Amino acid sequence: MSYLYLAIAVIFEIIGTAGLQASQQFTKPKPLILTAAGYAAAFYFLSLVLRTMPVGIAYALWSGLGIILITIVGLFWFGQRLDWPAVIGLALILVGVVTINLFSETVVH
């Protein structure tokens, strides 16, 4: 269940972050409500993950996956483009997430 809760937490974090971008510095109320609800749900499900996974590992996976996925949302939904250094940095984050999942003994499998 930890990975299911983690996936749900990441999805809600992406919803919250996309709402934050769409709120245009808190000037649009509907996206702001989406932001608050998204982050509240994200933290709730992340707290469930912490029952079985060390906080550092859970946070690394949550934030790493969130960074990668919100970058994709930013690219397609908000039209934000990346330069090569940013792409390389994101690839290194992805390598870190994969390494933790495949090789760390502290992650619940």
93-105, pLDDT tens digit by residue?
999 988 988 888 8
**Which amino acid makes up residue 97?**
V
pTM for the model: 0.87
User: Helices 84-103 and 55-77 meet at what angle, rounded to 10?
Assistant: 140
- The answer to whether the beta carbons of residues 42 and 17 sit under 8 Å apart is no
- The answer to whether the beta carbons of residues 100 and 107 sit under 8 Å apart is yes
Measured between alpha carbons, how far is 68 from 74 in angstroms, rounded to an integer? 10
Structure tokens, 102: 């495949």
CB atoms within 10 A of CB 94: 14
Q: Mean pLDDT throughout 7-25?
A: 96
pLDDT at 104: 83
pLDDT at 109: 56
For 32-72, the pLDDT digits (tens) are: 999 999 999 999 999 999 999 999 899 999 999 999 999 99
Residue 107 has pLDDT above 80, yes or no: no
Q: Mean pLDDT throughout 8-35?
A: 95
pLDDT at 108: 63
Structure tokens, 108: 């619940």
pLDDT at 105: 82
For 67-95, the pLDDT digits (tens) are: 999 999 999 999 999 999 999 999 999 99
